Amino acid sequence: MGNATRVSFGQALVELGREHKNVVVLDADLSKSTKSESFGKEFPERFFQMGIQEANMIGVAAGMAFAGKIPFLCSFGAFLTGRFDTIRVTVGYAQANVRLVGTHAGVGIGDDGCSQMALEDLACLRTLPQFAVLQPADDVETKHMMKYLVKHQGPAYIRLTRQNVIDVNKSDYKFEFGKGVKLKDGKDAAIFATGALTGNALEAAKKLEAEGFSIAVVNIHTIKPIDRDIINEYSKKVPVIFSAEDHNVIGGLGGAIAETMAEVAGKSRLVRIGVQDVYGESGLPEDLYKKHGLDIEGITKTVKSALR
Amino acid sequence: MQMTVKDLKQQALQSRKLILEMLTEAKSGHPGGSLSAIDIITALFFNEMKVDPKNSMWTDRDRFILSKGHGVPALYATLAYRGYYDPKETLTLRQLGSPFQGHPDRVRMPVLEASTGSLGQGVSVAQGIAMAFRLDNKSSRVYCLMGDGEVQEGQAWECFMSAGNYKLSNLCVFLDINKYQIDGSTKDVMDIEPLKQKIESFKWNVLEINGHNMDEILGALKKAREEKNKPTMILAHTIKGKGVSFMENVNKWHGVAPNKEELQKALQELKIVDQ
Ligand SMILES: Cc1ncc(C[n+]2csc(CCOP(=O)(O)OP(=O)(O)O)c2C)c(N)n1
């Protein structure tokens, strides 16, 4: 197991702070959880503790961006996307150069339960024009994505895990905004995975390989703009495409792929692995991953039964 | 139900123990803010509120909404001893499939009245119920408990403004002022004082008490009932982690459960809280 992506984010943020004097960080009483705390320790003058007031924090970050700063504002993804209208008008519509950092993605957070789980955040933010929506799969990718984000023009959302994830990328990895990453090729099916599910999908594909199935795995770190080319490519090549995400199957990666596939004259059908349009609940992360078929066994089973 | 002050104190002690037991069993959750709120919640359910555990959805019942949802172990313990379910059931806290969710879920457990856990929202629901009661000429009352960090949310002040404006005298909100939130003391994170003046200026009846003193809690509740023109805010000064020496005012206990040894230590030293 590698780092939780929120941990990688916290480390990357300090590095960026050293290099870029314009980077400022805001948090709403969750800096220990979002891991923005270490930035606050090293750069207290550029760290703003806003208290428990997410809507105000989003507006303030937009103001700072308009005045030339590069704000990273942090909270649980659920609480940030809860302030959708503020994000839509103040950040999206006004094209504020703000980076919203939403941690505690999906049912993977476990026992705190539904109210703390970001399960619809990708869907919400993906509907906002010119809004970049990103989710790294592992430590290396998070760090490269963060370097990119400092230079990105326009609003962006980055979604991070509470729990540790399997490392899938090598150290010579290069981040390309908007481009899917082929982790493994295959002929029988392709799994398009994002975030914590990427490692699980790759492990599932390896297991299936041993059983005679040839499964491609593509890591989608940029959910918006979605990489249409790679979806087109596989929808002409394999009979079944799977989307895999710790998010509602509606509107997130599964939604983005469905929209794209519907417009391509491909031959594949789509099976969406994710949270099947239900609210989250309390439970151990492992138990919840099992229940929703998001663990390695669950993915393996879903792929096999769809190919049978 | 009208328990004596002596029995209320005994009851709060029993609930404190159950809170810690369920958190230890769950291996996660929020002891600090549960222990600061338990005396108030005990006074409400065992003395002040008209409720009927045998007929829990009785339409004329008084309502209680825990706006700071992470303190829900205090409410689960209270409801158990009040007769809504077996105290043992609460030990399934946070387990997959349990109605005892990490934060209140009114679909799995209707007596919780609202689903909270995103701070700042529950108090608006309490306001809405109070407005509906008035529309129906009901004498039932609505109680709510918030955290002092929680009132940093803008929505809290929208509610304070509007409940004051609507003169909702059937609404009574406790503010559990335990002086801490997650990232530190409330004063350091985002100072909310002076609360009394602020909330009074929003046209509320504001009372100030020691939130661990049963006589003061009951006295304030009586005054709130007598107020006919304004909603009442009871500023309850409390201690985060109250009752367990190693948790009191030690904010690491905001969201960490005690392990088995820590639980034993806590159970041994817990006694009736008097101040
Ligand atoms: C909207 C929202 N933002 C952030 C959180 C995360 N959170 C949970 S508890 C807490 C601190 C609450 O402090 P306070 O209201 O003082 O509660 P207490 O100290 O009594 O536990 C925070 C920030 C949340 N639950 N909801």
The ipTM value here is 0.95
What is the average pLDDT across B184-197? Answer: 98
Contact A214, A188 (CB under 8 A): yes
Confidence class for position B51, pLDDT limits 50, 70, 90: very high
Strand A181-184, strand A215-219: pairing: antiparallel
What is the average pLDDT across B228-238? Answer: 98
Average per-residue pLDDT for chain A: 98
SS3 B16: helix
Q: In angstroms, rounded to a whole number, what is the distance separating the alpha carbons of residues B43 and B122?
A: 20
Confidence class for position A246, pLDDT limits 50, 70, 90: very high
The beta-strand segments (E) located in A39-169 are: 47-49, 70-76, 99-103, 132-134, 156-159
More confident residue, B239 or B272: B239
Query: Does the pLDDT value for residue B274 go beyond 80?
Result: no
Best of A32, A282, A294 to disrupt the B interface (most B CBs within 10 Å) is A282
**Centroid of ligand 1 to alpha carbon of B149 (angstroms):** 6
Which fold is adopted by the domain B5-272?
Answer: Rossmann fold (3.40.50)
Contact B191, A92 (CB under 8 A): no
Size of interface A-B (CB pairs under 8 A): 91
Write the pLDDT tens digit of every residue in A131-170: 999 999 999 999 999 999 999 999 999 999 999 999 999 9
Residues sharing a CB contact under 8 Å with residue A247, sequence separation 6 or more, in sequence order: A105, A106, A118, A119, A120, A121, A122, A123, A253, A274, A275
Contact A201, A299 (CB under 8 A): yes
Partners of A78 on chain B (C-beta within 8 Å) are: 118
How far away is chain A from the Cα of B117, in angstroms, using its nearest Cα?
5
Residues sharing a CB contact under 8 Å with residue B270, sequence separation 6 or more, in sequence order: B13, B16, B17, B243, B244
Sketch the domain layout of chain A as residue ranges.
Answer: 5-159, 181-307
Q: In angstroms, rounded to a whole number, what is the distance separating the alpha carbons of residues B235 and B210?
A: 8
**A181-307 maps to which CATH number?**
3.40.50.920
Write the pLDDT tens digit of every residue in B55-70: 999 999 999 999 999 9
pLDDT of residue A129: 98
**For residue B229, how far is the Cα from the chain centroid?**
24
pLDDT of residue B271: 92
**For residue A54, how far is the Cα from the chain centroid?**
20
For residue A257, what are the CA distances in angstroms to A152, A158, B204, B210, B266? 24, 19, 53, 57, 53
Q: Which residue has the tokens 């065992």?
A: B46
Helix pair angle (A228-237, A253-262), 10° resolution: 70
Contact A128, A120 (CB under 8 A): no
Residue A153 structure tokens: 């023009």
pLDDT of residue B225: 98
Partners of A281 on chain B (C-beta within 8 Å) are: 96-97, 101, 105
For B134-167, the DSSP string reads HHTT----EEEEEETTGGGSHHHHHHHHHHHHTT
Based on the residue annotation, tell me whether A15 is a catalytic residue of this protein. Answer: no
Average per-residue pLDDT for chain B: 97
Best of B90, B101, B121, B175 to disrupt the A interface (most A CBs within 10 Å) is B101
CATH class of A5-159: alpha beta
Query: Does the pLDDT value for residue B275 go beyond 70?
Result: no
Q: In angstroms, rounded to a whole number, what is the distance separating the alpha carbons of residues A146 and B122?
A: 36
Partners of B154 on chain A (C-beta within 8 Å) are: 53, 55-56
What residues does A241 pair with on adjacent strands? A190, A270
Residue A204 structure tokens: 């599932």
pLDDT of residue A265: 78
**pTM of structure:** 0.97
**Centroid of ligand 1 to alpha carbon of B182 (angstroms):** 7
What is the average pLDDT across B125-153? Answer: 98
Q: In angstroms, rounded to a whole number, what is the distance separating the alpha carbons of residues B177 and B37?
A: 9
Write the pLDDT tens digit of every residue in A28-69: 999 999 999 999 999 999 999 999 999 999 999 999 999 999
Helix pair angle (B72-81, B31-43), 10° resolution: 40
Confidence class for position B40, pLDDT limits 50, 70, 90: very high
Sketch the domain layout of chain B as residue ranges.
Answer: 5-272
Return the percentage of chain A with pLDDT > 90, whole number. Answer: 98
Write the pLDDT tens digit of every residue in B68-125: 999 999 999 999 999 999 999 999 999 999 999 999 999 999 999 999 999 999 999 9
